[in-house]
Amino acid sequence: MSHGAPDALEDHGRVGSLGEALTTRKRVKIQYRKPGANDATEREVDPYGLFLRRGAWYLVAFDHRTREVRMFRLSRIEDAVVNTKKPGTPDFEVPSSFDLAAMMQTSPLEYHVHERLAVQIRVDPDVAFLVERSWGSPDADGVFHVETTYLDYLVDQVIRLGLRAEILSPPEAREAIGAALRKVAKAHGVPTGEMIEDGFDWGMGF
Domains and CATH numbers, the chain: 7-105 (2.30.30), 117-198 (no CATH)
Q: Is 199 left (phi over 0), alpha (psi -120 to 50) or beta?
A: left
Cα(60)–Cα(67) distance, rounded to whole angstroms? 13
Residue type at 77 in one-letter notation: I
Q: What is the mean pLDDT of each run of 10 residues along the chain (206 residues)?
A: 46 83 96 82 96 88 95 92 94 95 90 92 96 95 96 93 95 91 77 52 38
Q: What pLDDT is stored for residue 144 in this prediction?
A: 98
Task: For the chain, give the number of residues.
Answer: 206
Cα(60)–Cα(22) distance, rounded to whole angstroms? 10
Q: What pLDDT is stored for residue 127 in this prediction?
A: 95
Cα(192)–Cα(183) distance, rounded to whole angstroms? 9
Q: What pLDDT is stored for residue 13 in this prediction?
A: 72
> Which residues are CB-neighbours of 113 under 8 A, at least 6 positions away?
34, 35, 70, 71, 72, 73, 149, 150, 151, 152
Q: What pLDDT is stored for residue 183 in this prediction?
A: 79
Cα(95)–Cα(70) distance, rounded to whole angstroms? 14
3-state secondary structure the chain: CCCCCCHHHHCHHHHHHHHHHHHHCCCEEEEECCCCCCCCEEEEEEEEEEEEECCEEEEEEEECCCCEEEEEEHHHEEEEEECCCCCCCCCCCCCCCCCHHHHHHCCHHHCCCCCCEEEEEEECCCCCHHHHHHHCCCCCCCEEEEEECCHHHHHHHHHHCHHHEEEEECHHHHHHHHHHHHHHHHHHCCCHHHHHHHCCCCCCCC
